[in-house]
Amino acid sequence: MSIYQGNCLRVDLTGHEVGRGKTPDNGIGARTWNSVTLLRELEPGIDPLGPDNILCIGVGPLVGSKMIATCRFIASAKSPLTGYLGDSGARGFFAAEMRWSGHDQIVFTGASDRWVYLFIDNDRVEIRDASHLVGMDITQTTVALHDELRDPDLQVAAIGPAGENLVRYSIISCNLARAAGRTGMGAVMGSKKLKAIVIHGDRPVKPADPERFEKACAQFHSDLVGHKDFEPRRRYGTTMIMDRLAEMGVLPAFHYRSTQFENLDKVNGIALRRDHIVKEKSCYNCNVHCSRYNYTHYGEGEGPEYEALAAYTVKCGNSDLELAVGVSNAVNRLGIDCITTGEVIAWLMECRHEGVISDADIDGIDLSWGSRDALLRLPELIARREGIGDLLAQGTKRAAETFGPEAQKLTAEVKGLELFSADPRGIKGYALMNAINSRGGDHYRGEPMIELTGDEDRAMRRVGYREAAHRLEETGKGALVNYAEHLGILSDSMTICKNISNCMDLVDFDLAAEAYSGLLGREITHREMWDACSHVSQVERDFNLREGLHTEEDTLPARFLDQPIPDGPSQGTTIDIDRLVSDYYKEKGWDR
């Protein structure tokens, strides 16, 4: 069944040839098209960093429209970090420009024999020389392209030195700091010697039924500005999460050794806004303005979001907020994933604390908790693959294999992808999402946020279990995660901001169906949207099974299963991940 089939630009980087076609006919936008494309066209077992990998960039049909926060693109390929499905989304303005250029999906095949960038101006598409951009960070690349093309309004998605050097968790970034950060899509781009994509488009999105579409947009806007988290998100963005996680007792302090951090008030969202934020910033057509420009004596930049803020403070045992913000800015410019980078550093610090490794093993870098030396030097070494950075560029799973079994016991990854900055034992729906989702250890695949609300009526409406509204309950979490997963696929296909659609629970399948109906001018039902997401969930599972996934990998690191939370409000909490995964499998109709 086809709900929407878009325009696909095909770019053969080996032959430097461009063609045009259509997206797969059984999807609703970006992630659905990308995942189907990979399953259909990618040969099993290929090297993720070889020329046979395929890189898909997709946007949803609502992007660039009047619908608030339709501002994301999804980049998909076989992941060089995990060996399974890789994809990641970025917000900002690039996606809208891509949609306005008349392209819903770009599929890159092959690999160039020299560094190039892709230039798109509506129907005009050119593969251009990028040799002069090699070695530049993401900010330098973006500025150089704006200057070269004499147009500061052009939208640029680029890789930095990390992508050029094939760091397995390097990013694709637009608008200087809006990153498709997870699973190493920047490394895939680098393996194809594709330094950047530059886009200009001026074709507006015109709904077929304007009245119906605008009614859906107006309802969404009303729900958004009336939401209890609208103002907190405007003021603090995702950094507001830090205090809430502290209250729950699930902060990952000192690499998950504690949920307590004595200097929390020095590094939280309030401190960040007070000491380093100079201006709010929004993505395309969004009135939340949840991002921020920052300034420190290390330099200036955008952010950080919660994950970067927590990674370089609480998780590493660092109370120097200015240092953390400076590291976040550097990581963005170098082009490496803030979550994996933070996890690499915090894991090394715990290994040193436990006597598993010494500073001498890491080029003499001080690995004590909160070490300024480690936080400043390691990202540069990783991005440039110099010294110990060459090993750490492989991610914690591969690096731990080199250091041995005791180091492996301290990692926090699932299927090779490093976990988020929260203790999964105390938020059991999120724990299950990290264990089973199709790209590995990750919370953002689908946010089972209902378990954080205590709203039993909402939990009943959404998934049929009152217990699902409580984070420490295990009953109903299979149904909750299945629902959250579907909602994540929906958001990644509409390419709408998940902080609004999922975390604020403002987009459901009824609203999505109404918006699509108004846009396309024909009746689209709730059920059709749900079924499209179900289909892609199975497509992604089939892709991973084909690449060698075993069901035993749908679990959490042993460190979270062998002992309870040690302290704080959730002290003593354990998790039965086998029960949770079994419940989820039943929801999916899968065998274990």
| Whether residue 436 sits in one domain with residue 315 | no
Same domain, yes or no, for 62 and 113?
A: yes
- Cα dihedral 456→457→458→464 (10° resolution): 80
Q: What tens digit of pLDDT does each residue of 96-136 get?
A: 999 999 999 999 999 999 999 999 999 999 999 999 999 99
pTM of the model: 0.97
Judge whether 170 and 184 are in contact, CB under 8 Å.
yes
SS3 content of the chain, % helix, strand, coil (to 5): 45, 15, 40
Helix/strand/coil for 40: helix
The pLDDT value given to residue 115: 98
Alpha carbons 491 and 533: distance in angstroms, whole number: 10
Is 549 a residue whose pLDDT tops 70?
Answer: yes
Structure confidence at residue 420 (pLDDT) = 95
Could you tell me the CATH number of the domain that includes residue 260? Answer: 1.10.569.10
Q: Give residue-wise pLDDT tens across range 446-503.
A: 999 999 999 999 999 999 999 999 999 999 999 999 999 999 999 999 999 999 999 9
Does position 35 have pLDDT exceeding 70, yes or no? Answer: yes
Residues 6+ apart with CB under 8 A from 546: 39, 44
- Count of domains observed in the chain: 3
Q: Are residues 60 and 144 in the same domain?
A: yes
Contacts of 197 (CB under 8 A, 6+ apart): 57, 106, 117, 118, 120, 156, 157, 158
**Is 272 found in the same domain as 157?**
no
Residue 515 to residue 114: CA distance in whole angstroms: 43
- Closest Cα partner for 172 from 117, 241, 101? 117
Q: Which of 385, 418, 451 is the last residue of a domain?
A: 418
Tokens 């969004």 found at = 286
Query: Cα(399)–Cα(136) distance, rounded to whole angstroms?
Result: 27
Detail the DSSP E strand segments found in 406-546: 413-414, 417-418
**Which residue among 171, 200, 229 closes a domain?**
200
Same domain flag for 115 and 15: yes
Band (pLDDT 50/70/90 cuts) for residue 26 is: confident
- Residues 183 and 262 grouped into a single domain: no
Tokens representing 348? 């090394």
Average pLDDT over residues 279-285: 93
Do 167 and 22 reside in the same domain of the chain?
yes
Q: Please state the separation of Cα 384 from the chain's center in Å.
A: 23
Asked if 312 contacts 318 with a C-beta cutoff of 8 angstroms, the reply is: yes
H-run or E-run covering 545 = helix 526-546
210 assigned to some structural domain: no
Confidence bin at 1 (pLDDT 50/70/90): low
Query: Domain containing 500 — which CATH number?
Result: 1.10.599.10
Q: Which residue has the tokens 């990692």?
A: 411
Question: Which class for 231: exposed (0-12), middle (13-18), buried (19 or more C-beta within 10 A)?
Answer: exposed
337 and 414 in a single domain? The answer is yes
Q: Which domain holds residue 165?
A: 7-200
CA dist 321 and 267 (Å) reads: 5
Residue 127 domain flag: yes
Closest CA to 196 of 128, 150, 264: 128
Of 418, 439, 474, the residue at which a domain comes to its end is 418
pLDDT of residue 592: 80
Summary mean pLDDT of the chain: 97
Strand partners, 89: 74
**pLDDT of the residue at 443:** 87
By the 8 A CB rule, do 568 and 258 touch? yes
Residue 404 to residue 357: CA distance in whole angstroms: 10
For residue 304, is the peptide bond before it cis, meaning its omega torsion is within 30 degrees of 0? yes
Residues 228-275: pLDDT tens digits?
999 999 999 999 999 999 999 999 999 999 999 999 999 999 999 999
Taking residues 71-95, report their average pLDDT. 97
Same domain, 459 and 368: no
